[in-house]
Amino acid sequence: MRRGLPVVVAGVLLVAVGAPAQETGIVPVATVRQLCEGMITSSSDALFNVGREAPDDDDDWRAVLHNALMLAEAGNLLMLEGRARDDGEWMTMSRALVDAGITAVRAVEVRDVDALLGAGDEIVVACETCHVPYRDGGLSMPVR
Ligand code: HEC
């Protein structure tokens, strides 16, 4: 019995060291691909579609607002530990998606379709800037 004690103590210490990472309670569930396909593509498409069919009542604008907010927040989700690919460029590029989403939110708030289409251009750049290095390994067309 006495010989077993130090092992038990060491085990308790290991658990204590591992604990802080779990304290936030955040559990990434979707993969980056699922996030991109499920949440990011549908919300950005809804914003791009404004060019073809402009929102014309309060319900339409509210729906566009929700998509802009969802896209901006998806940028934050890309930055979560366990999903982020690194601490540098990945974070900057995810942040660019948040910022492009915020530009879209501002445009929706003043119901400015042209500004929303401008935000759409910013969003496309944010997608491709990340896809070139992280998804396609530089094989797709570079962003101009
Ligand atoms: C910060 C990086 C990042 C941003 C920003 C980003 N993506 Fe992605 N996306 C990825 C990565 C990495 C993959 C590949 C994931 C995998 O296969 O594991 C991916 C995959 C995809 C896929 C899956 C299909 C495929 O061809 O692999 C789609 C669709 C997609 N992204 C759309 C978008 C759109 C639209 C935007 C912008 C509105 C966007 N993404 C923004 C990193 C990003």
**60-118 residue pLDDT tens:** 999 999 999 999 999 999 999 989 999 999 999 999 999 999 999 999 999 999 999 99
Count of CB atoms situated within 10 Å of the CB of 32: 18
57-66 burial: b if 16+ Cβ within 10 Å, else e:
eeeebeebbe
Q: How far is the CA of 112 from the centre of ligand 1 (A)?
A: 27
- Domains of the chain plus CATH, in order, are 29-134 (1.20.120)
Residue 97 and residue 137 in contact, taking contact as beta carbons nearer than 8 Å:
no
**19-47 residue pLDDT tens:** 445 578 889 999 999 999 999 999 999 99
**3-21 residue pLDDT tens:** 554 544 444 444 444 444 5
Alpha-carbon span 94 to 80, nearest angstrom? 10
Q: How far is the CA of 89 from the centre of ligand 1 (A)?
A: 15
Predicted TM-score of the model (pTM):
0.85
| Residue 130 CB less than 6 A away from ligand 1 | yes
Alpha-carbon span 55 to 53, nearest angstrom? 6
| Residue 40 CB less than 6 A away from ligand 1 | yes
pLDDT at residue number 13: 44
pLDDT of 55 higher than 80:
yes
* CA-based R_g, the chain, Å: 21
